[in-house]
Amino acid sequence: MRERVFLLLDAGHSEEPMARFVDIFLISLISLNVIAVIFESMPEVYAQYGPWFDAFEIFSVGVFTVEYVLRVWSAVESRNPRFKSSVKGRIRFMLSPLALIDLIVLLPFYLSSLIGVDLRMLRALRLLRAFRLTRYANSMNLLLQVLRDEGPVISAALFVLLMMITVAASITYLAEHKTQPEAFASIPHALWWAVVTMTTIGYGDVVPMTLIGRICASVIGIISVGMVALPAGILASGFNEALHQRRRKYERLVDDVLEDGVIDPDEHRELRQLQEELGLTQHEAASILKAGYRKLNQSTEICAECGKIVLITGPDSPEEGTPKRLSKFG
């Protein structure tokens, strides 16, 4: 029973129809919550549909409370050994980032009901639920892993950026605070200008006017276009490498699976699972499989009608079974 609940609530078990339904239901509810928060903030919309929004909020809180309790209860069924022990494991689970967000989002509602504080302000916190959607996206893990791997370098780039912003703000403050005593009243005021300039946003609400100020701003602007895009470039390179590793992992499984020349249903399921886990597209998976067959000197073709892989084993004995199994796969 507890295991079944765990599997239903755990994301990514798309084979079982019930688990998939729970996934879709939760994704929809979270998305609707985000949309509700946005529209609720419009006075004219809230004036007209206020009660509906409140009712939807109560319903959502109910569902998420039940989900939260069930998740904590069934956490011990997780494959992660950290959550195995019945008390310490559950506390550890409750302190994991995503479970904490769940709690933070639920608390304002209960607190405001108990104490009677105005909860309108804290309602926007419900937007944080959106972060839970990351649980359902495989590519997100890749993004986070790259962020973690490239962490120290990106921190260094950010540190240099912050240092440059501070120095730029100070110099421009010295140059401008006599001409524009309001916009450049102090270094914190100049910091606002420096951030807006170095990120190339350039609102135009604060603009240097003295010659020295403009020369500083020009130098800063030119340096910043090189500096600011650096973290993005490093992330993108890291990303690309991680994508390659992911493909190589799939290639290795394809090679293992094709050692006997055929893909039996078990191996077929295994391939599909890894493909989902790694977040590979149909097209990528098919082209890796095709390359695997090519190594065995078996030519394949991508079917023009359905985009699936068809195995051509030779002119005399077309092995009908395999292509069909492959068609299912590709």
Q: Which of residues 152-211 bind a second copy (CB under 8 A)?
A: 152-161, 163, 166-167, 170-171, 173-174, 185-188, 191-192, 195-197, 199-205, 207
- CB 209 → a second copy: shortest distance, Å? 9
Local structure of 5: helix, strand or coil? helix
Beta bridge partners of 310: 301
Query: Stretches 2-10, 49-57, 148-156, 317-325: which one binds a second copy (CB under 8 A)?
Result: 148-156
CB-CB neighbours of 30 under 10 Å: 20
Q: Return contacts of 24-29, CB within 8 angstroms, 24+ apart.
A: 26/67, 26/132, 27/133, 27/136, 29/60, 29/63, 29/64
Q: Does 140 bind a second copy (CB under 8 A)?
A: yes
Q: Which amino acid is at 125?
A: L
Q: Among residues 8 and 235, whose Cβ is nearest to a second copy?
A: 235
Q: Among residues 227 and 262, whose Cβ is nearest to a second copy?
A: 227
Query: Stretches 9-17, 106-114, 123-131, 311-319: which one binds a second copy (CB under 8 A)?
Result: 123-131
Sign of CA dihedral 131, 133, 135, 137: negative
CB 1 within 8 A of CB 73: no
Beta bridge partners of 312: 299
Q: Does 301 bind a second copy (CB under 8 A)?
A: no
Contacting a second copy within 41-100 (CB under 8 A): 41-43, 80-82
Do the bridges between strand 299-302 and strand 309-312 make them parallel or antiparallel, or are there none, so unpaired?
Answer: antiparallel
- CB 292 → a second copy: shortest distance, Å? 17
Q: How many residues bind a second copy (CB under 8 A)?
A: 92
Q: Among residues 20 and 92, whose Cβ is nearest to a second copy?
A: 92
Q: Among residues 152 and 315, whose Cβ is nearest to a second copy?
A: 152
Q: Does 109 bind a second copy (CB under 8 A)?
A: no
* 311 backbone dihedrals φ, ψ, rounded to 5°: -90, 130
CB 270 within 8 A of CB 245: no
Query: What character string, x for contact with a second copy (CB under 8 A) and - otherwise, covers 259-298?
Result: --------------------xxx-xx--------------
Alpha helices (H) along 150-210: 151-176, 187-198
Contacting a second copy within 24-43 (CB under 8 A): 34, 37-39, 41-43
d(CA 176, CA 187): 11
Beta bridge partners of 133: none
Helix axes 265-278, 282-295, angle to 10 degrees: 130
User: Which one of 130, 258, 302, 310 is in contact with a second copy (CB under 8 A)?
Assistant: 130
Q: Among residues 112 and 166, whose Cβ is nearest to a second copy?
A: 166
Query: What character string, x for contact with a second copy (CB under 8 A) and - otherwise, covers 226-265?
Result: xxxxxxxxxxxxxxxx-x----------------------
